Chains A and B, each alone.
Chain A
Amino acid sequence: MMAPEHWITAHKIPVGTAMAAVIDVVRHYGLGVFDAISDVVGACADGLTIMLLDIPPLLLVAVAIVGAWFLRRSWKLVALIALGLLFIINQGYWNETMATLSLILFSTLCCMVVGVPLGVVSAHRPRLAQVLHPILDLMQTLPTFVYLIPTLILFGLGTVPGMISTIIFAVPAPIRMTQMGIARVPRSLIEAGEAFGATERQILWKIELPAALPLIQAGLTQCIMLSLSMVVIAALVGAGGLGVPVVRALNTVQVDVGFESGFVIVLLAIMLDRLCRSKEPAQ
């Protein structure tokens, strides 16, 4: 007689192998597609990095200061940006910072392009929202390393798998926030639009999106922060940026390098957060 638990282990349900088989099939038939994605996305992100690095750092600092002033009109923020960027130059992490910045900007752009429309659609279709909800949960709770492996297989080593993992991790934020924002638009405002003869499209553009804007913006900020929190993991699969010195420090047990790059990451996070966070709402 077999022990019952022995029977259970003997009939292992092939969850892992099934997923592996799926990835295999995808890879087999979609190799061309994935290579193309990999090339295009990689070229864009790397191109952006090269462009940023082409600009003299001090000029870029000046541009950032002027931009921050026009965006927020706050001396405090301008001072923070100026000192922060100068500190980064001082520490010798400018190149890594620019690589990280372009990775973040690019994946955030992708997240918003996918996330906002998806959020809008799911706000209008409760059924879709119900289906989407557990998938988004899964995307945010599944340990990153787990989907790092298949992205590696599909896209090869480099910037792209790092970015894909970043997007998978960060895209639920704009989807959720957009959906919440749109779903929370007061019924009375929509009816005001209807009563004056607005088409569905006009209601979306003139009422729902403006009303949801604060939450969409919060989604953007979250998305940037989540992307930033992925830099170290992105570095593990070969993406450049501030994650690289952290990984190196880990491998060679260099406390100083670890802290330096850690500080720079935190500093970048604070600057981006202050820059993106919406103004204190009037009243």
Chain B
Amino acid sequence: MSETANVALDFRNIDILFDRSGRRGAIEAALARLDAGETREEISRALKVTVGVAGANLGVARGEISVLMGLSGSGKSTLLRAANRLNQPIRGEVRIGNGSAWLDIARCDGDTLRELRKTRIAMVFQQFGLLPWRSVRDNVGFGLELRGMAPSVRREIVEEKLALVGLSSWADAQVHELSGGMQQRVGLARAFATDADILLMDEPFSALDPLIRRKLQDELMDLQKRLKKTILFVSHDIDEALKIGSRITIMREGRIVQTGTPGDITLRPINDYVADFIRHMNPLPTILAAAFMRRFRDLPVRPDGLLDAGTIAIDQHAPTAHVADRGVVMRACGEWEPGAVCIVPTHMSLGEVIVMRQRSGFPVLVEEDGQLVGVCDDADIYQALSGERRRG
């Protein structure tokens, strides 16, 4: 596959089980039952073995933010933690590109694993995981210190990473003097400091209040534009996932249900479970015009050859718009003036389309590559809001 060249981290058939029974052979017995198709509950009840993750396959492309989503206990953290072997997969491979070859993190020896953790894979924790007896500076330099880097060399890198997250003036503060948002910035700086190309983030913003959370999401995306890390991100917030994820994976009871782009997930949910999940998202910033507009080819044609878009009629070839047989001006939304029909690009969000629909009083036209391709009228907006179209 040509796609594998671009894959930075590759989970293959990962099973992770936790033995609560302490009996020898419990894990093997559980695997046999798992292969025979028994559910997680049955296995848990019969053998006191928790199936954390079962049969997970996931490729994380270089430079993307891949988000793992699911309800509590669905195995998101467990899968994420397999990437640096904080959880040991019982079966399967976690492959990481290592120059030209692949390396299996799940089975490599201890020294190789430590080397990977020091240089390739960094982690950001939900509860920050900072060392409270150290200053901010020494927390950020922690990973470098573990490598045995001299303090003088370390200092420069630490300053740079602190500047990156906007905490330069706090370098000598104690961790407890910082607010939650700032503490997590320290966590981010610590992860950036090792120059790892892969970042594991387990609900890094969940412990923060909503305003700070949104701010840090924006900052992360800004940083990501510059740094182009490969990020595996766990979230239980669908809006967060749709906002920052270039690829979203929905998990349920230890299994991956669906993987896809935010568009795939919102428009083509694979089953009712995913659809249900999506229904709880805030649609305004996430659904794009391209997803809910009515395409011209689906519009009825009037006897005079114009396309019938409710209150306006469109001549697709001129192109012009007509209201009650009188032509009206069309303007791109940046240059819109009262009395004109508004034209928006396909990547305009539902929220913005609603604003333009409201202001202009006309249905909103959608263009793609300089061509008018569709229209958003009230019915389309309502459908998008209610999620009906998305489920079909």
State the CA gap A191–B117 with chains docked (Å): 12
Contact of B129 (CB < 8 Å), options: A189, A198, A206? A189
B residues less than 8 Å from A191 (CB atoms)? 86, 125, 129
- A197-224 residues at the B interface, CB under 8 angstroms: 197-199, 202, 206-207, 210-211, 213
**Which residue of A189, A192, A199, A283 has the most chain B CB atoms within 10 A of its CB atom?**
A192
**A197-B117, A210-B133 known; A188-B127 Cβ under 8 A:** yes
State the CA gap A195–B143 with chains docked (Å): 9
Contact of B117 (CB < 8 Å), options: A195, A210, A282, A283? A195
Chain A: interface size category: 10 to 19
A194 on the interface (CB 8 Å rule)?
A: yes
- A163-213 residues at the B interface, CB under 8 angstroms: 188-189, 191-199, 202, 206-207, 210-211, 213
State the CA gap A211–B133 with chains docked (Å): 8
Report the minimal beta-carbon distance from A268 to chain B, rounded to whole angstroms: 31
**Which residue of B129, B143, B145 has the most chain A CB atoms within 10 A of its CB atom?**
B129
Contact of B118 (CB < 8 Å), options: A188, A196, A211, A213? A196
Contact of B146 (CB < 8 Å), options: A198, A210, A213, A283? A198
B20 on the interface (CB 8 Å rule)?
A: no
B235 on the interface (CB 8 Å rule)?
A: no
Cβ–Cβ contact A196 & B131, under 8 A: no
One digit per residue, 1 when the CB lies within 8 angstroms of any chain A CB and 0 when it does not, for chain B 101-112 equals: 000000000000
Cβ–Cβ contact B86 & A196, under 8 A: no
Specify the chain B residue showing the minimal Cβ separation from A198: B146
State the CA gap A189–B114 with chains docked (Å): 17
Cβ–Cβ contact B118 & A194, under 8 A: no
Contact of B194 (CB < 8 Å), options: A196, A210, A213? A196
Contact of A192 (CB < 8 Å), options: B118, B131, B133, B145? B131
B18 on the interface (CB 8 Å rule)?
A: no
Specify the chain B residue showing the minimal Cβ separation from A199: B114
B176 on the interface (CB 8 Å rule)?
A: yes
A residues less than 8 Å from B115 (CB atoms)? 197
B205 on the interface (CB 8 Å rule)?
A: no
Specify the chain A residue showing the minimal Cβ separation from B193: A196
A residues less than 8 Å from B118 (CB atoms)? 196-197
Report the minimal beta-carbon distance from A114 to chain B, rounded to whole angstroms: 25
Cβ–Cβ contact B114 & A197, under 8 A: yes
**Which residue of A198, A202, A210, A211 has the most chain B CB atoms within 10 A of its CB atom?**
A198
B residues less than 8 Å from A211 (CB atoms)? 131, 133
Cβ–Cβ contact A188 & B125, under 8 A: yes
Chain B interface, number of residues (Cβ within 8 angstroms) = 28
Cβ–Cβ contact A192 & B129, under 8 A: yes
State the CA gap A207–B119 with chains docked (Å): 20
Cβ–Cβ contact B129 & A283, under 8 A: no
Contact of A197 (CB < 8 Å), options: B127, B133, B147, B200? B147
B residues less than 8 Å from A193 (CB atoms)? 146
A residues less than 8 Å from B133 (CB atoms)? 210-211, 213
- B121-165 residues at the A interface, CB under 8 angstroms: 121-123, 125, 127, 129-131, 133, 142-143, 145-147
**A196-B146, A197-B115 known; A210-B129 Cβ under 8 A:** no
State the CA gap A274–B113 with chains docked (Å): 47
State the CA gap A197–B190 with chains docked (Å): 13
**A195-B86, A196-B194, A197-B146 known; A207-B131 Cβ under 8 A:** yes
Cβ–Cβ contact A196 & B127, under 8 A: no
A residues less than 8 Å from B129 (CB atoms)? 188-189, 191-192, 195
State the CA gap A97–B289 with chains docked (Å): 87
Cβ–Cβ contact B142 & A194, under 8 A: no
Cβ–Cβ contact A194 & B125, under 8 A: no
State the CA gap A148–B186 with chains docked (Å): 56
One digit per residue, 1 when the CB lies within 8 angstroms of any chain A CB and 0 when it does not, for chain B 78-95 equals: 000000101000000000
B residues less than 8 Å from A192 (CB atoms)? 123, 125, 129-131, 142
Report the minimal beta-carbon distance from B225 to chain A, rounded to whole angstroms: 25
A residues less than 8 Å from B119 (CB atoms)? 197
State the CA gap A64–B134 with chains docked (Å): 30
Report the minimal beta-carbon distance from B133 to chain A, rounded to whole angstroms: 5
State the CA gap A188–B86 with chains docked (Å): 11
Contact of B84 (CB < 8 Å), options: A195, A202, A210, A283? A195
State the CA gap A211–B146 with chains docked (Å): 17
State the CA gap A202–B116 with chains docked (Å): 16
Cβ–Cβ contact A283 & B176, under 8 A: yes
Report the minimal beta-carbon distance from A230 to chain B, rounded to whole angstroms: 33
B residues less than 8 Å from A213 (CB atoms)? 133
Cβ–Cβ contact B176 & A196, under 8 A: no
A residues less than 8 Å from B131 (CB atoms)? 189, 192, 206-207, 210-211
State the CA gap A198–B133 with chains docked (Å): 18
Contact of A202 (CB < 8 Å), options: B113, B125, B146? B146
State the CA gap A227–B33 with chains docked (Å): 60
List 6 A-B pairs, Cβ < 8 Å.
A192-B131, A195-B117, A196-B190, A197-B115, A197-B147, A198-B114
Contacts A192-B142, A195-B129 known; 19 new A-B pairs at CB < 8 A: A188-B125, A191-B86, A192-B125, A192-B129, A194-B86, A195-B86, A195-B117, A195-B122, A196-B123, A196-B190, A197-B113, A197-B117, A197-B143, A197-B146, A197-B147, A198-B146, A206-B142, A211-B133, A283-B176
Q: Using CB atoms and an 8 Å cutoff, list the residues of chain B in contact with chain A.
A: 84, 86, 113-119, 121-123, 125, 127, 129-131, 133, 142-143, 145-147, 174, 176, 190, 194, 200
The 8 closest A-B pairs by CB, nearest first: A197-B117, A197-B118, A192-B129, A195-B123, A196-B143, A197-B114, A188-B129, A210-B133
